[in-house]
Amino acid sequence: MIARTCLRLAAVYSLRGRTIAGDRVLDSSLAGLPPLEGGEAVPFVVIYTEGADLEDAGGTLRAGGHVDLVFEAVCPAPAPGLGASDAALELSADVLERQIRVALEDHSSPWARRFSVLAHPVRVTSLRGASQASDDGIAFVARQVTVRAELLAEPRGAEPWFTDFVAALREEEGAEGVSYADAITLAVEGNPAWSDIISTFSPVAHAGIGGPQGDALGLGEGPEMDGEPIITTEPAP
């Protein structure tokens, strides 16, 4: 459903450059850790949508309903083998989660305003990822924040919010925004084949991620493949 895609993208662009993760905010990444920067591991966020339900459809299959938007916030130690206290990593994860929540409610941000148009949060759950070290010696702490929200109805093509959304995507730097804009416009206004979507959406290498670090974090397969979250979680104490 395209409204879910738009919600995810609004969250991504709302957060980029607004947290300690910098621009390392990824849409549904199926890979692993971003590469080291200057020899240091850095925080990052992966955003994806999980379950959705529509209890009062009102006779249509394209009403909004509820959706679960998931933020995987990962804070690694600065460098492989470099000591960082558990308390410092835990604090970093707490700071990143707070920054995520604040950025999504910052109505001075055009993308945060678009996020608020698309969804009305009704429940927020925060789970703690297990602290561990990768095979490369990178310790990390992660939090999984799930926002259950009432989602706007599926776009039919001419709604002002959708026109504004597509135009804003085209104004983003790089090829990513244009690729998304082309793909979702084709999906809403036409009846594309699978090959049309693939050819329209030029894959963008967000950060050259993958490799053994991703395998160690359990990020290699992604939530869509096996139904499991990117990070194994446990309830916060």
DSSP 54-109: -S--TT-S-S--EEEEEEEEEEE-SSTT----HHHHHHHHHHHHHHHHHHHT-TTS
Looking at the chain, the whole-number percentage of residues with pLDDT higher than 70 is 63
At 85 the pLDDT is: 62
pLDDT higher than threshold 80 for residue 177: yes
* Residue 112, CB-side half-sphere exposure with 13 Å CA sphere: 16
Count the neighbouring beta carbons within 10 Å of the beta carbon of residue 42: 19
Residue 135's pLDDT band (boundaries 50, 70, 90)?
low
Residue 130 scores a pLDDT above 60: no
- According to DSSP, residue 200 is labeled H
Each domain of the chain, given as residue ranges in start order, spans 2-153+205-235
For residue 35, pLDDT beyond 60: no
Q: What is the pTM of this model?
A: 0.75
Predicted local distance difference test score (pLDDT) of residue 234: 40
Q: Would you state the pLDDT for residue 74?
A: 87
Residue given tokens 């990052």 in the structure block: 44
Query: Pick from 142, 140, 136: which is nearest to 77 by CA?
Result: 140
**Domain 2-153+205-235 fold:** Alpha-Beta Plaits (3.30.70)
Pull the structure tokens for residue 70.
């998931």
pLDDT digits (tens, 9 = 90+) for 202-212: 443 333 333 33
Can you tell me the mean pLDDT for 27-33? 66
Amino acid at the residue 143: R
The Cα–Cα gap between 228 and 236 comes to 18
The answer, yes or no, to whether residue 190 has pLDDT greater than 60, is: yes
Query: Does residue 173 or residue 120 have the better pLDDT?
Result: 120
β-pairing, 233-235 with 139-151?
unpaired
